[in-house]
Amino acid sequence: MASSSRHVYHLESSEPSFSSPLGSIRKCTVDELPILKAMSLKRLTLQPKGIREPHWHADSNELTYCLSGNALVNIIDTHSNFASFTIKAGQMFHIPSGSLHHIENISDDEPAEFLVCFRHEKPEDFSLSAAYGAMSPAFLGTQNKEIVERGGVPTIPDTAHHQDVHKFDVEGQQPPLQGEDIRSARLAKSIYWPALENVAMYSLRVEDKAMREPHWHPITAELGYVDKGQARMTILDPSGETDTYTLGPGDMYFILAAYPHQIEVLPEGGKEIHFCIFFDQPMPLDIGYKASAEGMPHEAMAATLGIKRREMPKMEGTSRAPHIVPRINDVDEVKVWTK
């Protein structure tokens, strides 16, 4: 079970902000996790016939990953540009701020579940029902309905299965980062998905014999969600203190830009972890510890580490950063900080 930490929020076990037989919404904004900055997360579940009512966000772009199920998404963009497409597990969609959209479960027998990342620590929503009710007494809608029930069968346009600029099949991507059958990272970022403006997402899988190299993102914050497995993370604060915590399915974490951190798999959680990691930049970049050691003069590194120059290991020859590295030592004892 995840430990207490100012970087962590237990999203899946939190009290829903909305719940009915048609579905639920769990959220983590700055109200729930004060360290959040310019990012937040919701987990949306739609039962069969459940519809996330048409709505828009006043101050935030949205980037959504489908965890399970099948859904229909409709969008009205600026100048009344319409888009309608289907989404299944492992696919994503992007909604610009202010664009009207709805999400509808089109399965007859299984829920549809989504991770919804916002580019604001406390996003503001407008629902179509409340907007209509506020402007004229002739309309019946007077408040947000959040999730409503569809009558009859879903209306799916013939073109809904085609590609769309708002949609991206991240799990269908050949992983740009992979190797040695121990890890892979599929990347939803602007080089592959030009529609992204100020947000990106990595689908990261690491087996129990590997770990994410210690690193930091110079100008990018990181918001992660654990879909599967158990992991341990350590974050270094500018004060020199470290925050170490464990994570399990349904937990999320947040790391400020330029804070060094690492991720390692804990064997008790199974053979693999799957993280959905969101960033507040369309092209997130990082600096790893190995590249740091290679890029600095060896005399400076030896002095920094408190060893003789001749004791420095050979670091030359790496053509690129390792990103995820094999575990060559035993797992350290799992010690975590708790309140």
3-state helix, strand, coil in the chain (%, to 5): 10, 40, 50
In angstroms, the CA 245 to CA 219 distance is: 24
What confidence score (pLDDT) does residue 46 get? 98
| Contact present, 18 and 45 (Cβ < 8 Å) | no
| Contact present, 327 and 209 (Cβ < 8 Å) | yes
What confidence score (pLDDT) does residue 254 get? 98
Per domain, the residue ranges of the chain are 12-170, 175-326
Residues of the chain with pLDDT > 70, as a percent, come to 86
In angstroms, the CA 156 to CA 244 distance is: 47
Burial of residue 331 (CB within 10 Å: 0-12, 13-18, 19+) is middle
What confidence score (pLDDT) does residue 161 get? 87
Which residues of the chain carry a pLDDT beneath 70? 1-3, 135-143, 177-183, 210, 269, 315-339
What confidence score (pLDDT) does residue 337 get? 42
Specify the CATH class of 12-170 in words. Answer: mainly beta
What confidence score (pLDDT) does residue 339 get? 34
- Main-chain phi, psi angles of 85, to 5 degrees: -155, 160
Query: Residue 114 carries which side chain, given as an amino acid letter?
Result: F
Q: Could you tell me which of 327, 335, 324, 334 has the C-alpha nearest to residue 215? A: 324
| Contact present, 39 and 119 (Cβ < 8 Å) | yes
In angstroms, the CA 158 to CA 184 distance is: 34
Q: Classify each residue of 118-157 as buried b or exposed e, where b means 16 or more C-beta atoms within 10 Å of its C-beta.
A: bbbbebeebbbbbbebeeeeeeebeebbbbbebeeebeee
What confidence score (pLDDT) does residue 66 get? 98
In angstroms, the CA 290 to CA 157 distance is: 51
Domain 12-170 and domain 175-326 have a common topology: yes
CATH topology of domain 175-326: Jelly Rolls (2.60.120)
Q: Classify each residue of 85-101 as buried b or exposed e, where b means 16 or more C-beta atoms within 10 Å of its C-beta.
A: bbbbebbbbbbbbebbb
Q: Model-level pTM?
A: 0.89
Residues, the chain? 339
What confidence score (pLDDT) does residue 71 get? 98
Q: Could you tell me which of 7, 112, 101 has the C-alpha nearest to residue 55? A: 101
What confidence score (pLDDT) does residue 185 get? 87
